[in-house]
Amino acid sequence: MKKSNDQSLKDILAQLVKKDGIRQPLHEVEIREIWKREMGDYVNKYTRYLRLRGHILEIGISSAGLRDELGFAKKKITSFLNDQLGEEVIVDVVLRH
């Protein structure tokens, strides 16, 4: 007799993502897509990179003025991105040149 397997494909893929440590790179891709879609042309023009290091999002901004302005909104950025991701992935944002 064959053994019954009641797991759905979704559950199996979720286990693989957790097991193989590919969850963080997937979140990083999602964050880039959200950033590009939601932040607008001006911010995207000066965004050099987005990197997720553990639970810290590093954002490279080439404009000093924009970097300062975004610095005042770090908590709002963190909250917004976590809401879009549907879970708490980011605990802090670091802005760099």
The Cβ of residue 93 has, within 10 Å, a number of other Cβ atoms equal to 19
pLDDT of residue 20: 53
CA distance 26 to 22: 6
Are 35 and 49 contacting, i.e. CB atoms less than 8 angstroms apart? no
- Interatomic CA distance for residues 65 and 85, integer angstroms: 28
Task: Report pLDDT for 44.
Answer: 97
Is 13 a domain residue?
Answer: no
4 within a domain of the structure (yes/no)? no
Whether 79 maps to a domain, the answer reads yes
Structural domain includes residue 1: no
CATH code (residue 44): 3.30.300
Tell me if 3 is assigned to some domain.
Answer: no
pLDDT at residue 1 above 60?
A: no
For residue 11, what pLDDT is reported?
85
Q: In the predicted model, is pLDDT for residue 2 greater than 80?
A: no
Residue 34: domain span: 23-96
In DSSP notation, 14-36 reads HHHHHHHT-HHHHHHHHHHHHHH
Task: Dump pLDDT digits (tens) for 9-41.
Answer: 888 877 777 765 678 888 999 999 999 999 999
Number of domains in the chain: 1
